[in-house]
Structure 1
Amino acid sequence: MGKIRFSIFFSVFVAMVGLMIIAPVMPPLIRELGLSETHSGLIISLGSVAMALLAPLWGRLSDVKGRKPVIILGFLGMFIAYVLFTGTMYAGLQGMIKGGLLVVLLILARALVGAFIPAVPSSAQAYMADITDENERGSGMAFIGAANGLGLVLGPAIAGVFAIIGLIWPLYIGALLPILALIVVMIMVPSHKPVIHAKPPKVSPFQKGVRIYLFAGFVTMVSIVTLQVIGGFYFQDQLGLTTNETARMVSFGLMFTGVAMIITQGVQMKNKKWQPKQLLVVGALLILIGVILFLSFNHLAVYYTAYFLFGIGSGLLMPGFMTGASLAVKKEQQGGVAGLIGSIQGISAVIAPLLSTGLYQVEKHLPFALLGVLMFVLTITLVMVNSKSTSQHLAS
């Protein structure tokens, strides 16, 4: 069991690193190619669109074909997609491909990366649901959440280290990691029989018992992405920092968020008492407090405290909505619901950057105000659902 859990952890970690390792080097690479910021936005956004569209399909496929084959296929696809993306980028830097053709090829290659990445976390989450009972589901999902958090922190860090050698080097690592993960999965993960042999019952995002957790997942991911996207602008404008100072300060802030997330999920792995809705309510309230700190004070130490609270809150929210969604469906629907969660993550990655930067241009406090409203609505909704469930239980 320990080997399986490690391989699941490593698989999700590699998938998240594969997603995050591109982001830090994309802006300078785009400028080296003579392209614009708009081109960079298109390349990244369309990759996220591919994630949103294909994640549910991968999850359902894992129900029919088995978890291990889909994870293997995901890593093979990631490797091929990264080779194509890196090769196209290299050809562009060498002047072999230029102009519109270069942009189209980069968009297609990045979309291919986004298409294969969700095969891994969707199948891994469903696999974790297969090997845990209801009492252990929360700690199992916290394990996956910790892998997400670690990838979120180390992805950009790995990119920064290898970018010292050359800007394209992080992309070489992005192509190498899926092969390493593929070997680990093939050796350590036993073949798992498909959950069902017929066509699986489809999971609707509006299905009773599931929609609240998908909404929680959407709010959580929008908050995480928004903090990543506008945190630097907010730091610089509020504190009057230089560009280099901003990069350094924001890096520390995101590190605090990632460390807090990992620690929180590490504790949650050992704590099986809290129910998903309890995790969500406490996590939402902590992020709400962080938002209030951002809006009410103008001091570096307070901002770092807010980043840390964001990390703790996210560390509770992620296993909360993953566990809740998993427990809300039948065994043969685990892949389907895991795919929907992956889709929500992709949708958030498309919407949050556009929405947060648009609001920031209108008024710099608006993105954080929106997060506060979303967390407040989520908290009230969860409390009302809990109260309704309790009333129905007492009446019966």
Structure 2
Amino acid sequence: MFRIRFSIFLSVFVAMVGLMIIAPVMPPLIRELGLSEIHSGIIISLGSIAMAVMAPVWGRLSDLKGRKAVIVIGFLGMFVSYVLFTATMYAGLSQVLSGGLLVVLLIVARGLIGMFIPAVPSAAQAYIADITSENGRAAGMALIGAANGMGLVLGPAIAAAFALIGLIWPLYIGALLPLVALGIVCFLIPAQKPIIHEKPPKVNPFQKGLPLYLFAGLATMLSIITLQVVGGFYFQDQLSLTTKETARMLSVGLMISGVAMIVTQGLQMKNPKWQPRSLILFGAVLLIISLSLFLFFINVIIYYAAFFLFGVGAGLMMPGFMAGASLAVDREQQGGVAGLVASVQGISAVIAPILSTSLYQLNKYLPFAVVALFVMLMGATLLFVKSRSKISENTRIDS
């Protein structure tokens, strides 16, 4: 069992690193190519759209073809698409390609990366659902969440380290990691028979019990991405920092948040007593407190404390909404619901950068305030539905 969990953890980690390793080097690479900021935005955004569209497809395919097969296809696709993206970038830097053709090829290659990356977390989440009991589902999903969190933290760090050699070097690593992970998956993960042998039943996002957890997933991911996208602007303006001081402060803050997220999920794996609703609600409270600290104080130490609380809150909410969504559907639909969860993450990656930067232009406090209200609305909805179901149960007992 350990080798399976290790392989699943590594698979999701590599997929997340593959997603995050591009972001830090894209702006300088785009400028080296002589392209504009809008080109960078289009390339990144279309990759996120491809993720959102393809995630449910991969999830359902894992029900039909098997989890391991989809993970293998995902890593092969990541390798090929990363090689294409890196080769195109290299050709542009060498002035072999330029202009419209260069932009189109970068968009296509980044789109392919976005298409294949969600194959891995979708199938991996479904695999964890297959091998865990209902009581242990939240702890199992904490493994996926910890891999996500570690990828979020180490992806940019790996990019920054290899960028010291050359701006394109992180892309070489992005192409190499899927091959390493592919070898480990092929040797360590036993192939499972497909869950069903006919056309997999579609998962309706609005079927009973599921929308709440997808809503929680959207709130969690919007919070995380908003902090990453506008945090630098906000802290620079609040604390009157230089560009270098801002980069240092944000890097330390995000690292504190990432470590808190990983530790929280590690503890959850060892102590699987809390169920999805409790994880989400307690995590939401911590998220709202952290966002309030960002909004109402102007102090570096308090901000670092807020980063820590944010990491703990997100670390509770992530396995909570994953486990809740998994438990809301039948065994034959685990791949489909895992795809929906991954799709929510892709949708968040499309919406959050545009929404948060637009709100920031109106007022610097708005992005964090809107996210806090959104998390509060999600938590209130979860409480309302729970209390209403209890009333229904009591009514049935009384009658």
Q: Distance in 2 between matches of 1:208 and 1:295?
A: 36
Q: Distance in 1 between matches of 2:379 and 2:65?
A: 38
Show the counterpart of 2:278: 278
Is 1:247 aligned to residue 247 of structure 2? Answer: yes
Q: Distance in 1 between matches of 2:378 and 2:281?
A: 8
After superposition, residues 229-268 of structure 1 pair within 5 angstroms as: 229-268=229-268
Question: Under a length normalisation based on structure 1, what TM-score does the superposition of the two structures give?
Answer: 0.99
Report Cα offsets for 1:325-366 as digits up to 9, x if no partner.
Answer: 000000000000000001100000000000000000010000
Regions of 4+ moved over 4 Å: none
SS in 1 for 2:195: coil
Show the counterpart of 1:69: 69
Report Cα offsets for 1:169-225 as digits up to 9, x if no partner.
Answer: 000000000000000000000010000001111101111100000010011001000
Q: Distance in 1 between matches of 2:46 and 2:227?
A: 21
Show the counterpart of 1:329: 329
Report Cα offsets for 1:14-63 as digits up to 9, x if no partner.
Answer: 00000000011111101100111100000000000000000000000000
Letter in 2 for 1:232: G
Q: Distance in 2 between matches of 1:53 and 1:307?
A: 31
Identity in percent: 69
Letter in 1 for 2:92: G
**Deviation of the 1:309 alpha carbon:** 1.1
Letter in 2 for 1:254: L
Q: Distance in 1 between matches of 2:93 and 2:269?
A: 45
Show the counterpart of 1:192: 192
Of residues 383-392 and 246-255 in structure 1, the stretch that sits farther from structure 2 once superposed is 383-392
Letter in 2 for 1:48: S
Q: Distance in 2 between matches of 1:189 and 1:393?
A: 43
Show the counterpart of 1:121: 121
Letter in 1 for 2:75: F
Q: Distance in 1 between matches of 2:179 and 2:253?
A: 32
Q: Distance in 2 between matches of 1:8 and 1:389?
A: 35
After superposition, residues 366-385 of structure 1 pair within 5 angstroms as: 366-385=366-385
Q: Distance in 2 between matches of 1:263 and 1:16?
A: 18
After superposition, residues 339-378 of structure 1 pair within 5 angstroms as: 339-378=339-378
Q: Distance in 1 between matches of 2:388 and 2:323?
A: 20
Q: Distance in 1 between matches of 2:346 and 2:285?
A: 24
**Deviation of the 1:394 alpha carbon:** 2.0
Q: Distance in 1 between matches of 2:291 and 2:136?
A: 32
Q: Distance in 2 between matches of 1:375 and 1:49?
A: 23
**Deviation of the 1:392 alpha carbon:** 2.0
Show the counterpart of 2:9: 9
CA RMSD of aligned residues (A): 0.6
Letter in 2 for 1:381: T
Show the counterpart of 1:183: 183
Q: Distance in 1 between matches of 2:365 and 2:104?
A: 36
Letter in 1 for 2:244: N
Is 1:218 aligned to residue 218 of structure 2? Answer: yes
Q: Distance in 2 between matches of 1:74 and 1:156?
A: 21
Q: Distance in 2 between matches of 1:393 and 1:134?
A: 21
**Deviation of the 1:270 alpha carbon:** 1.4
SS in 2 for 1:218: helix
Q: Distance in 2 between matches of 1:375 and 1:106?
A: 35
Segments of structure 1 that go 5 or more residues without pairing to the other structure are none
Letter in 2 for 1:224: I
Q: Distance in 2 between matches of 1:8 and 1:357?
A: 35
Letter in 1 for 2:371: L
Q: Distance in 1 between matches of 2:138 and 2:281?
A: 15
Q: Distance in 2 between matches of 1:312 and 1:199?
A: 40
Show the counterpart of 2:319: 319
**Deviation of the 1:395 alpha carbon:** 2.3
Letter in 1 for 2:354: L
Q: State how many pairs are aligned.
A: 396
After superposition, residues 57-96 of structure 1 pair within 5 angstroms as: 57-96=57-96
Show the counterpart of 1:389: 389
**Deviation of the 1:390 alpha carbon:** 1.5
After superposition, residues 151-170 of structure 1 pair within 5 angstroms as: 151-170=151-170
Q: Distance in 2 between matches of 1:281 and 1:385?
A: 13
SS in 1 for 2:378: helix
Letter in 2 for 1:106: L
Q: Distance in 2 between matches of 1:257 and 1:393?
A: 40
SS in 2 for 1:34: coil
Question: Under a length normalisation based on structure 2, what TM-score does the superposition of the two structures give?
Answer: 0.99
**Deviation of the 1:134 alpha carbon:** 0.5
Q: Distance in 1 between matches of 2:295 and 2:334?
A: 39
Q: Distance in 1 between matches of 2:385 and 2:178?
A: 41
SS in 2 for 1:206: coil
Q: Distance in 2 between matches of 1:312 and 1:106?
A: 36
Q: Distance in 1 between matches of 2:194 and 2:388?
A: 36
SS in 1 for 2:5: helix
Letter in 1 for 2:224: I
SS in 2 for 1:167: coil
